[in-house]
Structure 1
Amino acid sequence: MAIWFEGFLLGLSLIVAIGSQNAFVLRQGLLGQHVLPVIICCALSDALLITIGVSGFYIVVEKYPLVIDITRVFGIVFLCAYAILRFISAYKATSFMELSSDSHKLPLKVVLGTCLAFTFLNPHVYLDTVILLGGIASQYKENAWLFGLGACFASVVFFTGLGFLAKFLRPFFINKKSWQYLDIFIGVVMFFIAGNLLLAF
């Protein structure tokens, strides 16, 4: 149980920082659109990557860093494009009420595609889940899977809380200015992450 809890705490500490994926989940939670599918998509994606790391594949990723570099390039392009979309949305001053209406609701496949892009085009997710968690889990030998399960559960708890608890912030975002500030904040976060990825080359 102690090993499981260590995996849970480390997994939670890695995922809790504001990042592109978290910002996207928060926005969907505020809008109340496809929240459960997004939560499931994020949790399953993390579980897949953690499983790959715990299985020992982190050694391959460490040996071939070009995989991370290729992901970084696509990630930078995607994050910059999404940031621009958020700034355009802020400039147009589209209200929360408009965006949360059925007429502005994006199809599920588009939302999930965006969610997957935020997950798998972020090279840090491989460094955190596959390499870091995988490497630490290997120290526990036959109990490595307990560590991995704890980390997977941390993802489930975090994304569930972020997605569903966001609804309590909705009254604040009824104000059009507040929604503009959120879009600007998300755009800045995306550009900041893209800049860090660029500097990592």
Structure 2
Amino acid sequence: MYAMAAGLGTGLSLIVVIGSQNALVLRQGVLRDRVPLVVAICATSDVLLIALGVGGLGGLFTSWPPLLEVVRWFGAAFLLAYGALALRRALRPGDGLTAAPVAASALVATCLALTWLNPHVYLDTVLLLGTASTAWGDLRWWFGVGAMVASVLWFCVLGFGAGRLAGVFARPSAWRVLDGVVAVVVTAAGISLIW
């Protein structure tokens, strides 16, 4: 139980930060647009990445740095483009709640890219959680299960709880502020990958 609780706490401490992936889940939750799909993709991806980290995949990244470089540059390009789109929405009134829904295929592609092309996700799940799990020896998989529960719990709370903010986001100005914050966070993440 202690290993699982430690994994839960460590997992929450790493995931409860508004980054590019969480910003998308929050936006879709407020829009109440395909929330189960977005939550399922993000949670499943995190569970797989945590399992890979606990299973020892972090060693591949540390032993073969070119792999991390490729992911880093693709991730930086994608995050900068996503940040530019969020900035455009922030500067254009009416592009928030009243905007036409994004096609499901585009939403899935965006969600997968924000997860699998984001080196910060690998750092948190594969490297940090994978490394932290080794301190638990034979109980490392229980630590991993705790971290997985933290991820699933967070994405469910964020995605399904964000709908309660729909009243606040009935005003276009609220969407502009949210999109402005998303633009800053995502662009900063993209720039940090380059530097």
- TM more than 0.5: yes
Structure 1 unaligned residues grouped into runs of 5+: none
CA contact (8 A) 2:89 2:95 kept: no
Could you tell me the percent identity over the aligned residues? 42
The normalised TM-score by structure 1 is 0.93
Please tell me whether residue 179 in structure 1 is matched to residue 175 in structure 2: yes
Indicate the residue corresponding to 1:72 in structure 2. Answer: 72
Q: Quick one: distance in 2 between partners of 1:48 and 1:8? A: 16
* Preserved CA contact (<8 Å) 2:46 2:125: yes
Maintained 8 Å contact 1:56/1:138? no
Structure 1 residue 129: Cα displacement? 0.9
Q: 1:128 aligns with which of 114, 119, 124?
A: 124
1:56 alignment partner, SS class: coil
* 1:5 lines up with 2:1 in the alignment: no
Structure 1 contact 95–174 (Cα < 8 Å) conserved: no
Greater shift after overlay, 85-94 or 151-160? 85-94
Q: How many residues align?
A: 195
User: 2:57·2:126 contact (CA, 8 Å) conserved in 1?
Assistant: yes
1:149 equivalent in structure 2: 145
Q: Distance in 2 between matches of 1:142 and 1:16?
A: 27
| TM, length-normalised to structure 2 | 0.96
Cα RMSD for the two superposed structures: 1.2
* Alignment match of 1:119 (pick from 115, 120, 125): 115
Residue 89 of structure 2 contacts residue 96 of structure 2 at CA under 8 Å; is this kept in 1?
Answer: no
Which amino acid in structure 1 is aligned with residue 51 of structure 2? Answer: T
Deviation at residue 107 of structure 1 after TM alignment: 2.0
1:137-190 deviation per Cα after TM superposition (whole angstroms, max 9, x unaligned): 122222111010000000011000000111111111111111111111111111
Contact 1:95 1:175 in 2 (8 A): no
Give the drift of 1:69.
1.4
Q: Name the structure 2 match of 1:33.
A: 33
How many angstroms apart in 2 are the aligned matches of 1:94 and 1:75?
Answer: 29
